[in-house]
Structure 1
Amino acid sequence: MDSIVNLISDIEQAENINLILYICNDHSSKRIDGSDYFNLYNCLKSNEFDSKRETFLVIHTYGGNISATVRFIETLQEYFQRFNVFVPYKAMSSGTLICLASSRLLLGRLAELGPLDPQISSESIQTNVPSIISSADIKSYINMSREWFGVNPDQSIEILNQIVTHIFPTTLSYFYRAEKYILGKIVEYLQINNVDMTIDRAFEIANSLVNGYHTHNHAITRTEALKIGLDIEYPNDKLERTLTELVDLVQGFMRKAMTNESMGFIDSVIGTSSILVCNTH
């Protein structure tokens, strides 16, 4: 752990930046949850940041709970008026929302963002359905009925009845509210960091991220991110190599811990040049 903290400090000095890590274990099912913004807070309050430097969050995550993600963002905003995000590999699903809240978004060559359509476990809904369903799945059912089976608009009530038979109405209203919430947050973050962006353009981008993809695990590369209108940057080779090697070191540390019973299984690491906080189970 000391080697990681020391490397963070060395990078800060060499690049003249403040550096924060949020890295999830590739071998874990860890997703962003309520523990993360508490761990982030404990890291931030234990560190003295140079207000004259740019702050970079280096992130690797497959996403998680939207409400917890928003609290994670708000915790960062409590300490920094502006912060940048660097993605070496993945910031999928709600991890993409963190990226959208940044002042500068730097994507490495292998970086992947992801769609933001709301999802819910189907265990509490009904058996014989996929373990996870999203709002996009429900909307696609209507389109599929029309395109595949020629169902006409006059039969929309029948289609709705079929959906309600399998998915409780309040679950449908949850999807509706969740989608509205996510769309609103995307628009909010885009406009905060792009003062010239109109609300119509921000909503167009938000709608692309929420409703524009056929699968939730679609990988949005940096080329595609530019096409949908995201304001991203390509990091210079030195910075990308340095920060990617740091992430690889943290992943190696978490893999090593998997073989050490005294350390426990580390799901994620949040760290600064003063402290590392490991989420274990």
Structure 2
Amino acid sequence: MYQDRVSLYQQLEKERNSKVITYVTGDRPGMETKIHSEVYDLFVNHLDEIGVTTKISLILYTKGGETLTAWSLVNLLRQFCDELEIIVPSKCLSSGTIMALGADKILMTKQATLGPIDPSLTTPLNPIVNINGQENISPVSVEDIKAYLSLAKDELGIKNPEDALNILLKLSDKVHPLVLGSVYRAQTQIQMLARRLLNFQISDAATVDKIVNFLCSDSGSHDYTISRREATNELGLNIEKPSAALYDLIKRIYYDIKSELELSKPFNVNTTLGASQQVQYSVTRGLVEATNTCSYQMKTQGLLQKIVIPGAPLQQFMINNTISYEGWKRHDEP
């Protein structure tokens, strides 16, 4: 709980000689969240309370989200400090990695991972797929588009301009041309953002190019995970390994958050309802918190009800999930 984490944050601030902010986007199955622009003002509120300071330590746990929000948050944090470090206790993927690139230093535990930053787009023009009877928008990956075109050119040996045009037209039958254009623009944009952010920790242009190329393309898959050793030795990022005592402190903070958000426990309506006819529930899905301010918590609250299906030959039930609240709430009690 936040009340318990405050003392741990205070210990971490003393150890790092900094001000600590924590940002968590939960990945609990069924209740996932992502980096989103709605947290920008929450960061502003914390930073206004903290004021301009020498150093900020951002504890970050996320599987990703909006690219431009990641860019905006890093630049916001840097307006309030001379030095920014990002502490990665576990997952810091996709747009989370973008944020880490903009830090002066990335402190990674032994189990911490970064990830590729090749973007995927989800727009109303994206292809629609049917999953378990429900229509869903299918994300379009930059690397998947490039791999399709590379397959035609490099593996199948298609070189005739007319054949290449037919390949592109076939692709545009499945993916709207405007989405293809957006994919190219997103790739160019994310490479530009990564290069600008890396200037805070890497001065060598060749190293910057190597890092950007790997994170945007050469890793081969968006699911690829980058360990602390690879981030240090292979990519050349400015990585710090915590001491045993610091590792223990970070782990205690992370486990407390993991327990409160139930990150390893899928949200299952049947399990939550159990044998009851109806159950009120409240799930914490994300955090933006600091030591001497408050904890902003992203919550989903609702009512699960077991309803008899009329006319069924045997008594059969359906579960109705009525959401009464979804959004950020402030918890002032440290």
TM-score normalised by length of structure 1: 0.88
Q: Distance in 1 between matches of 2:21 and 2:167?
A: 48
Name the CA shift for 1:207/1:278 in 2 (closer, same or farther; >3 Å). same
Match of 2:24 in 1: 23
Match of 1:3 in 2: 4
Tell me which of 213, 216, 227 is aligned to 1:207.
213
Residue identity in the other structure for 1:43: H
Q: 2:126 touches 2:139 (CA, 8 Å); kept in 1?
A: no
Could you tell me how far 1:184 is from its partner in structure 2?
A: 0.6
Could you tell me how far 1:21 is from its partner in structure 2?
A: 0.8
Q: 2:126 touches 2:140 (CA, 8 Å); kept in 1?
A: no
Q: Distance in 2 between matches of 1:122 and 1:37?
A: 22
SS of alignment partner, residue 116 of structure 1: coil
Larger mean Cα displacement after TM superposition, 203-212 or 150-159: 150-159
Match of 2:324 in 1: none
Name the CA shift for 1:26/1:171 in 2 (closer, same or farther; >3 Å). closer
Structure number having the greater helix percentage:
1
Tell me which of 255, 270, 279 is aligned to 1:248.
255
Q: 2:201 touches 2:238 (CA, 8 Å); kept in 1?
A: no
> What does 1:159-238 correspond to in 2, within 5 Å?
159-194=167-202, 196-198=203-205, 200-226=206-232, 227-238=234-245
Could you tell me how far 1:213 is from its partner in structure 2?
A: 2.3
SS of alignment partner, residue 199 of structure 2: helix
Could you tell me how far 1:150 is from its partner in structure 2?
A: 3.7
Could you tell me how far 1:214 is from its partner in structure 2?
A: 2.4
Could you tell me how far 1:105 is from its partner in structure 2?
A: 0.9
Could you tell me how far 1:109 is from its partner in structure 2?
A: 0.5
Name the CA shift for 1:167/1:15 in 2 (closer, same or farther; >3 Å). closer
> What does 1:129-148 correspond to in 2, within 5 Å?
131-148=138-155
> What does 1:29-178 correspond to in 2, within 5 Å?
29-47=32-50, 51-52=53-54, 54-121=55-122, 124-128=125-129, 131-152=138-159, 154=161, 155-178=163-186
SS of alignment partner, residue 71 of structure 1: helix
Deviation readout 1:80-122 (Å, 9 max, x if unpaired): 1321011111100000011000001111111111111110237
Q: Distance in 2 between matches of 1:218 and 1:58?
A: 22
Q: What is the RMSD computed on CA atoms of the aligned residues?
A: 2.4
Could you tell me how far 1:156 is from its partner in structure 2?
A: 2.1
Unaligned stretches of 5+ in structure 1?
none
Residue identity in the other structure for 1:78: Q
SS of alignment partner, residue 164 of structure 2: helix
Structure 1 segments, 4+ long, off by >6 Å, are none
SS of alignment partner, residue 278 of structure 1: strand
Match of 2:307 in 1: none
Q: Distance in 2 between matches of 1:87 and 1:153?
A: 48
Q: Distance in 2 between matches of 1:246 and 1:179?
A: 35
SS of alignment partner, residue 264 of structure 1: strand
Q: Distance in 1 between matches of 2:149 and 2:245?
A: 49
Could you tell me how far 1:25 is from its partner in structure 2?
A: 2.2
Larger mean Cα displacement after TM superposition, 145-154 or 86-95: 145-154
Q: How many residues align?
A: 275
Q: Distance in 2 between matches of 1:230 and 1:88?
A: 17
TM-score normalised by length of structure 2: 0.75
Q: Distance in 2 between matches of 1:191 and 1:7?
A: 32
Could you tell me how far 1:153 is from its partner in structure 2?
A: 5.5
Residue identity in the other structure for 2:18: I
Residue identity in the other structure for 1:142: L
Could you tell me how far 1:148 is from its partner in structure 2?
A: 4.5
Residue identity in the other structure for 2:48: K
SS of alignment partner, residue 63 of structure 1: coil
Structure number having the greater strand percentage:
2
Name the CA shift for 1:237/1:153 in 2 (closer, same or farther; >3 Å). farther
Could you tell me how far 1:18 is from its partner in structure 2?
A: 1.8
Q: 1:43 touches 1:277 (CA, 8 Å); kept in 2?
A: no
Name the CA shift for 1:240/1:126 in 2 (closer, same or farther; >3 Å). same
